[in-house]
A and B are shown apart, each in its own frame.
Chain A
Amino acid sequence: MEQIPASIWTLTAGVVVTLISFWVGHHHGLLPEQASEQAPLVDNFFDIMLTIGTALFLVVQGAIILFVIRYRRRAGEEGDGLPVEGNLPLEAFWTAIPALIVIFLGIYSVDIFQRMGGLNPGDHAMHSMHTPKPAMAVVAEAPSKTTSDATALLAAAPTPEIGIGASPDVQGKAPDVVVDVTGMQYAWIFTYPDSGIVSGELHIPVGKDVQLNLSARDVIHSFWVPQFRLKQDAIPGVPTELRFKATKVGTYPVVCAELCGGYHGAMRTQVIVHTPEDFEAWRSQNQAIATAPVIPSLSDRHVEEMGVTPQLVAQVEAMTHHHSPAKL
């Protein structure tokens, strides 16, 4: 048999590893369907990392297996191996290559995050309509003009500064649909401030810019729709948001992803993405029912109707918390 040069083997191995990696990166089928504008961005980034990762995995794993077979001690063999203590160019190479890869991934993840709207939480209509004020200052002012216009009330709700905000194409614009999302043990409550609808499921129109204002009543919860690739914790005392466009009509699970108690695993509901016409139909159908508040939600709207100040609400809530039996 003719001797095949080592360089041919290396080249062949390189080509095979590259082909396998690209194939795995594109056909892994590990991610659920894409139903939001952000999903393809995340998936594309994941696919790239999976491709690089597969290549590195195959090279390192291949080297381990090859070396173990090639350099295993045969029966009766004595003595030591080659006394090689290092090789500076080789070490520089395998320091530099991962460094370059992670620099590339770092820059790329900033870019992806920016396109997802991750760098723009707090970019709301309120911001463009009013001069921005720190949330605390606004809250402090609110009680003095409780009887006045609706804009003061709007401002009284602290503006989320944390989460996934406006993606570049909707920056500076008001969202099409706003939903207040409240997490509690063990349910999600969806309130539509403009229509007064309160629902246990999230209904949104496809292709519209949706803003979820997340809050939590008792413990930390986390709002996750796997098909949207979006997740944000709902934290007591820290308003957060998720802003996105759903791209596909359908029904998807809403999952609580932060341990919130014994029935955390059962804290599931669904998001129904409608066509715009179906969404309007759903809204007009439910608006009629929504006149009487049935959910013990002390949103600002109800506070205003009853003539209670936010301070009083805070006190009442603090008291009920302190007297709940779970506390003792």
Chain B
Amino acid sequence: MAQAQLPLDTPLSLPEHPKAWKWYDYFTFNVDHKVIGIQYLVTAFIFYLIGGLMAVAMRTELATANSDFLDPNLYNAFLTNHGTIMIFLWVVPAAIGGFGNYLVPLMVGARDMAFPRLNALAFWLNPPAGALLLASFLFGGAQAGWTSYPPLSTITATTAQSMWILAIVLAGTSSIMGSVNFIVTIWKMKVPSMRWDQLPLFCWAMLATSLLALVSTPVLAVGLILLLFDINFGTSFYKPDAGGNVVIYQHLFWFYSHPAVYLMILPIFGIMSEVIPVHARKPIFGYQAIAYSSLAICCVGLFVWVHHMFTSGTPPWMRMFFTISTLIVAVPTGVKIFSWVATLWGGKIRLNSAMLFAIGLLSMFVLGGLSGVTLGTAPVDIHVHDTYYVVAHFHYVLFGGSVFGLYAGIYHWFPKMTGRLLDERLGILHFILTLIGTNLTFLPMHELGLKGMPRRVAMYDPQFESINLICTIGAFVLAFSIIPFLINIIWSWNKGKIAGDNPWGGLSLEWTTSSPPLIENWKVLPVVTKGPYDYGIEQRKGSTDEDDDEKE
């Protein structure tokens, strides 16, 4: 143990590096975790804009019942790549790669990640993955949905489909490398003075996320590589007329892709557990419950995948078993929600942009979680599976959840990353537009699905036209909501108010260094003397008389 900790206490001297990074360093194979974090965030955000434009194009098509704006095959290419980009190139890399890389070493008091070169390599697998996806449009674009079920995926736009597979395998490899790095960093490089129960909850969430990614991602790679062989090399793993089985693919795919939902939300839950206490000026309510519930979600989340297959080739016992396991996930998720709400109680809540997005997430996620419970039961899922009800549900958890959480994280840590504050008026405008847009777009979709509109269609029954028009208007509101955010980011990065080291009065270790942090984070590593959520505790100790006065 003693040897392992030795290098942490002595500042690293090799290799030589400049005092601060220049703009062009962000375009190189840089091994600083903060550079890599920002590389991830900016790259992911660019893909978010691309994926968002695809969504706007699809919603424009769906404003009317007929197929009149996009070619139906291009529509399918957009729906496939919208899903793929938002998951594999926006939420996962932004949450895990971006915030994970930037924050984990700062929060545990390390100078960098455990394996800096591996870290840089993991990031640099992402741009080629994205380039492959975009280039696949030259060959028509993959058109079989982000799920890419065979046989459709083996007979439709096969060149583009193969590029899609390679892109996902690249992104998956990046995710595996990242996971190993996070687990080792948190496990071995935490400053010795930090007890395990002083580890910020974001790091617990990253630990759970990384374990989950490590177990599940290789299975996706297996499923996709077999698909690649079926398409290009004449194998027949999924070809029923040659002894293959198409349902096997669905099992392999969902064994990863259901946990992927948790990969996209657990780090966001971690962000919530940081943002809420700081701005509510309260200790987090139920630290242990939140940490354990992350691990519980990670474990139970590995055994729920068949709820995506209740109408597929699954026998009755499977449909029943996975109904029950799916419902169980609601319990640890509920614990988190209740704990955050309880953290608000008795606080002195600062309603700035970061906190508004965090509270917005709480509201939106509750709705998405509750519709998730209805979807998790086989009897109801038989009716609503593959309908707009599902689309509504996963956008409430992924947009209302993950994306709101990413915004909360950006407003919260942008001052740390750049040394400048974001403009609050633009931030609040951004929040209001996003909140209205989200509910206008996704709330009516519940009704569409229940009433009989399937998902992934470019043309639909005209009786659904008026509700679809509302959704389309909402999508345009969401598209415009990006504008104040973009202006804010670009303007504040250069001209924003100087933030200072600790603008929010946060207690976790990232606030103990300068903004932006030094290249190796601290001149002398910090010593942990109190917990990351000890808000109000010293004030309480020092001034019990004052409280008595207030009561009168």
Contact = CB atoms under 8 A, between A and B. Distances in A.
Interface of A: 30-32, 41-42, 45-46, 49-50, 53, 56-57, 60-61, 63-64, 67-68, 71-73, 77, 79-87, 90-91, 94-95, 98-99, 102-103, 105-106, 109-110, 112-113, 116, 118-121, 161-162, 164, 218-220, 222, 224, 226-227, 229-233, 235-238, 240, 253, 255-266, 268, 314, 317-318, 321, 324, 326-327
Nearest to B370: A53
Interface string B243-280: 01111000000000000000000000000000000001
18 contacts: A30-B447, A31-B451, A49-B377, A60-B338, A60-B341, A60-B366, A61-B363, A72-B349, A82-B540, A83-B537, A106-B323, A222-B311, A231-B383, A233-B313, A235-B247, A237-B245, A240-B313, A257-B386
B315 to A, nearest CB: 6
A290 to B, nearest CB: 28
B456 A264 contact: yes
Question: Which of A32, A85, A253: most chain B CB closer than 10 A?
Answer: A85
A98 B334 contact: yes
Given A30-B446, A79-B539, A84 B285 contact: yes
B384 to A, nearest CB: 9
B135 interface: no
A229 B152 contact: no
Interface in B316-365: 316, 319-320, 323-324, 327-328, 330-331, 334-335, 337-339, 341-342, 344-351, 359, 362-363
Given A42-B379, A91-B335, 8 more contacts: A84-B282, A86-B287, A116-B379, A118-B379, A257-B311, A259-B456, A264-B454, A318-B242
Nearest to B345: A67
Chain B interface main SS type: helix
Interface stretch (B100-108, B220-228, B458-466): B458-466
B373 A102 contact: yes
Chain A interface main SS type: mixed
A246 to B, nearest CB: 16
Range class of the B interface residue count: 35 or more
B155 interface: yes
A105 B286 CA distance: 27
A265 B76 CA distance: 11
Contact of A68 (B67, B334, B344, B455): B344
Contacts of B345: 63, 67, 71, 84
Contacts of A79: 281, 348, 536, 539
Contacts of B67: 265
Contacts of B459: 263, 265-266
Contacts of B313: 162, 233, 235, 238, 240
A235 B241 CA distance: 12
Given A53-B374, A64-B344, A224-B454, A45 B379 contact: yes
A86 B380 CA distance: 37
The 6 closest A-B pairs by CB, nearest first: A237-B240, A265-B457, A80-B536, A226-B452, A81-B347, A82-B346
B387 A257 contact: yes
Contacts of B320: 109-110, 113, 119
A81 B346 contact: yes
B385 interface: yes
Interface stretch (B123-131, B141-149, B199-207, B471-479): B141-149
Given A98-B330, A222-B386, A259-B76, A317 B241 contact: yes
A109 B377 contact: yes
B160 interface: no
B46 interface: no
B73 interface: yes
A187 B454 CA distance: 16
